[in-house]
Structure 1
Amino acid sequence: MKVAYLISEYPKVSHSFIRREIAALERQGVEVLRFAIRGPSDGSPDAADVQELNRTRYVLGAGVVPTVAHVLRAFVRRPVAFMRAVHSALRLSRRAERSLVHHIAYFVEACVVGNWMHESEVSHLHAHFGSNPATVAMLTGQLNGCSFSFTAHGTVETDAAQFIGIPEKVRRAAHVIAVSEYGRSQLCRWVEPVHWDKISVVHCGLDAIYRDAPVQQYNEARRFVCVGRLSPEKGQFLLIDALAELRRQGLDAELVLAGDGELRSAIEQRSAQSGVADLVRITGWISGATVREEINAARALVLSSFAEGLPVVLMEAMACQRPVIATRVAGIPELVRDGQDGWLVSPGNAKELAAAMQRCLEADASQLQAMGVAARSRAMERHDVDRSALQLKQVFASLAGTTA
């Protein structure tokens, strides 16, 4: 079986779960062609990501003449389908958050991807994320008369579902993957019940790095780690406020923000204004191996998100036998059991977050150990990448011969 994967930016440090998924599919005997709109913007410090660079074909960067040639070739191959795809791109742009120019670009990208699929004799395209990758995949399906599917991960699809064309994409897709039951429910909101059966849940998975690596026991260090992009939906300002609340109570703990993003300078400024700058360390983008080191060096992982899908770093931290503190949003309660694997708190409530962090700081070695063991068991039971890849393989096999 041969399928093509389409990702907007690949490989990418924060999307290592896609790399793991592709590798697991290949272990199942599926040949996966990697297509990406552009290369990584975060440096891809993981060695495995660097290897993926040579396995991936990139739409952008080919130059104007080859790109125009792709468009002409797509027209010659299927002129009627070409015009229908043009019409779809124009229609999608009318109420979209992106401009008409962007949608013309998506159409051109679909011409390139469609030609690559035609040359490689591959008839199914799977995209990750329901935004522009799914748009390109849908237009490619129209151009080639092939089937397409996509994985919806969370806030990308739920924050602006109508403005990125989620209803039409779900209707046209041969199958849609959600990463949590919550995510599936949000996709069902936008389409008629006749389409619900083709929306299924396949969890992002953990591979042998987490399954087989020696587990470091509980860590009593007074240190929390938060992994993720420094962006509004992640709520890191709340973490700073919670840290300041703990300090007012005479409790100090280090906070490591493992990641980078547009709010870095604002977070640094808020840390200074709140009197906790000495407790906060921002790492910038780091490799997956370094992320695991930061998790193992911490007492617990803490996430203060306002909105999520189901964060992969939660399952990674739990697999490292660390309890987690997270907000009770989206798919998180499906994984984290309050009081067993960690603590769940209300989103947007810095005092409740501080109270959970205090409970974690006051937990003794036996409690930290018991919660860590429970967390690891939970993560490994629900998020095995080979089991998830088998589900995907079955989906792809069922779509053989399906047209868009």
Structure 2
Amino acid sequence: MKIAYFTNQYPAPSHTFIRREISALEERGHTVRRYAIRPYSAELRDADDLAEFQKTTHITRFGVVRVLLGCLATMVRRPLGSCRALRLASRFASTARGDYILHTIYAVEAMLLANWCRKDEVEHLHVHFGTNSATVAAIAHEICGIPYSITVHGPEEFDRASLLGLGLKAGTASFVVAVSSFGRSQLMRWTDPADWHKLHVVRCGVDGSYRSAPAFGVSSEKRLVCVARLGEQKGHLVLLQAAAKLARQGVDFELVLAGDGPLRAQIEAEIERLSLQRVVSLIGSVSQERVMAEIKRARAMVLASFAEGLPVVLMESMALRRPVISTYIAGIPELVTADTGWLVPAGDADALAEAMRAALCESAAHLEAMGEKARQRALALHDVSQSAALLEALILRGAGAKHAIASLSIDGSGATECS
């Protein structure tokens, strides 16, 4: 089957789960096209990301003239579909505080996307994240009728569900995937109960490099690692407060922060203000190989998030036999249990410091036992080959429904515009 993946930007360092999912579908015999609105804005360092970049078609890399010509060609070829698309774009704009200019741009992008799907003979379009890329995909669906689906991660989609028209998207999509049961419950808040049958849980997964990772002992270094984008959702400032408390108590440790983002300058200033330069290392955005190496050198992964979907880095750490420290939010408790890590209230620096102390002071034998249980749980719940099989079944079911509807339309009233 010919499937297309569409995102706002791709590839990106934080989107390894998308790359793994695509690869797993290709291993199952499908052809997968990669489309995105724009490339990643910073430098790509990972070799796999660089390879994916060469396979991806980006709307913004086309000049304005080519985009407008593609849009015109679609309007000529699909006049009724283009009218439906503009009408849907207007509906989305009305939910987004009347931003009709922006949604007209989305309609133009959708016409180009629909054209690509037609040329590449795409049979199903899948979108990661229920934000602007899902809006474009929904409008493209109106143009040519290609079934589309969405993986909603959170928290951004749930923070702005009404503005993003999340319920409207669920109504027009073939199906909508959440990455946790918590995520599915949030989708139920914003969708019509008549569409709840479309909501499914397909968890993000780890690939063969994690499944086949050999066992290795607990590091003798008193080291913790946090791999996360330096953004407001990840709780880095609370993590630094907890680290400062441990430092004041004379605990010997090192905390490595891997990642980059808009709060970098603020985090650097906080490290200096709290006099943590000796114990906190800020290493920036690194390759997937470096991420694995940093996890292996640590006694535990720590993630002090305020808002999440279900962080892939937690399942990666657990698959590498490292327990994790995180917060009681979103889908995290569905993965992390008392015998695989520590969960603390979000925003509680004191509780976080105690969990960090426990990981730093725990015996190697106990950490190894926790790590083995963590690996078993992560691989049981988050094997990307299993996730791809679930997604494939949903896509094939949607394709079968489309073919059945098309047959009824042809038999009853002749071929439709998009048949």
Identify the TM-score tier after normalising by the shorter chain. Answer: over 0.9
Per-residue deviation at 1:99?
3.7
Secondary structure of 1:322's aligned partner: coil
Return the letter of the residue paired with 2:374: A
Residue 399 of structure 1 aligns with which residue?
A: 398
Residue 349 of structure 1 aligns with which residue?
A: 348
Residue 385 of structure 1 aligns with which residue?
A: 384
Residue 409 of structure 2 aligns with which residue?
A: none
Distance 1:309 1:262 in 2: 20
With over 3 angstroms needed to count, the CA separation of the structure-2 counterparts of 1:42 and 1:97, relative to structure 1, is farther
Deviations 1:210-239 (A, max 9, x none): 011223222232111111110111110001
Q: Is 1:197 the equivalent of 2:197?
A: yes
Per-residue deviation at 1:386?
0.7
Residue 159 of structure 1 aligns with which residue?
A: 159
Per-residue deviation at 1:277?
2.3
With over 3 angstroms needed to count, the CA separation of the structure-2 counterparts of 1:221 and 1:126, relative to structure 1, is same
Mapping for residues 124-273 of structure 1, pairs under 5 Å:
124-273=124-273
Per-residue deviation at 1:98?
9.0
Mapping for residues 18-29 of structure 1, pairs under 5 Å:
18-29=18-29
The answer for unaligned runs of 5 or more in structure 1 is none
Per-residue deviation at 1:40?
2.1
TM-score between the two structures when normalised by the length of structure 1: 0.97
Deviations 1:111-146 (A, max 9, x none): 111001111222321100000111111001001122
Secondary structure of 1:149's aligned partner: strand
With over 3 angstroms needed to count, the CA separation of the structure-2 counterparts of 1:138 and 1:402, relative to structure 1, is farther
Secondary structure of 1:278's aligned partner: coil
Distance 1:401 1:363 in 2: 54
Deviations 1:10-54 (A, max 9, x none): 111110110000000000011111111111223221111111122
Per-residue deviation at 1:402?
4.7
Distance 2:93 2:234 in 1: 29
Q: Is 1:275 the equivalent of 2:257?
A: no
Return the letter of the residue paired with 1:170: A
Deviations 1:370-401 (A, max 9, x none): 11111111111111111111111111111115
RMSD: 1.4
Q: Using the aligned pairs only, state the percent identity.
A: 47
Higher mean alpha-carbon deviation, 14-23 vs 31-40, is at 31-40
Residue 37 of structure 1 aligns with which residue?
A: 37
Residue 406 of structure 2 aligns with which residue?
A: none
Return the letter of the residue paired with 1:315: M
Distance 1:344 1:58 in 2: 40
Secondary structure of 1:260's aligned partner: coil
Higher mean alpha-carbon deviation, 233-242 vs 56-65, is at 56-65
CA contact (8 A) 1:238 1:348 kept: yes
Residue 376 of structure 1 aligns with which residue?
A: 375
Return the letter of the residue paired with 1:155: P
Q: Is 1:96 the equivalent of 2:82?
A: no
CA contact (8 A) 1:5 1:35 kept: yes
Distance 2:359 2:57 in 1: 46
Distance 2:399 2:285 in 1: 39
The answer for unaligned runs of 5 or more in structure 2 is 403-417
Distance 2:98 2:242 in 1: 36
TM-score between the two structures when normalised by the length of structure 2: 0.94
With over 3 angstroms needed to count, the CA separation of the structure-2 counterparts of 1:76 and 1:107, relative to structure 1, is same
Distance 1:312 1:14 in 2: 9
Q: How many residues align?
A: 403
With over 3 angstroms needed to count, the CA separation of the structure-2 counterparts of 1:98 and 1:17, relative to structure 1, is farther
Distance 1:283 1:98 in 2: 42
Return the letter of the residue paired with 1:373: E
Distance 2:101 2:74 in 1: 19
CA contact (8 A) 1:223 1:254 kept: yes
Distance 2:252 2:341 in 1: 20
With over 3 angstroms needed to count, the CA separation of the structure-2 counterparts of 1:326 and 1:56, relative to structure 1, is same
With over 3 angstroms needed to count, the CA separation of the structure-2 counterparts of 1:252 and 1:95, relative to structure 1, is farther
Distance 1:249 1:139 in 2: 57
Deviations 1:140-162 (A, max 9, x none): 10011221101001112111111
Secondary structure of 2:260's aligned partner: coil
CA contact (8 A) 2:167 2:192 kept: no
Deviations 1:294-320 (A, max 9, x none): 111111100000010000000001111
Distance 2:165 2:44 in 1: 30
Distance 2:192 2:362 in 1: 48
Per-residue deviation at 1:97?
6.9
Per-residue deviation at 1:89?
1.2
Q: Is 1:363 the equivalent of 2:362?
A: yes
Distance 2:294 2:96 in 1: 40
Secondary structure of 2:177's aligned partner: strand
Higher relative contact order (CA 8 A, sep 6+): 1
Secondary structure of 2:256's aligned partner: strand
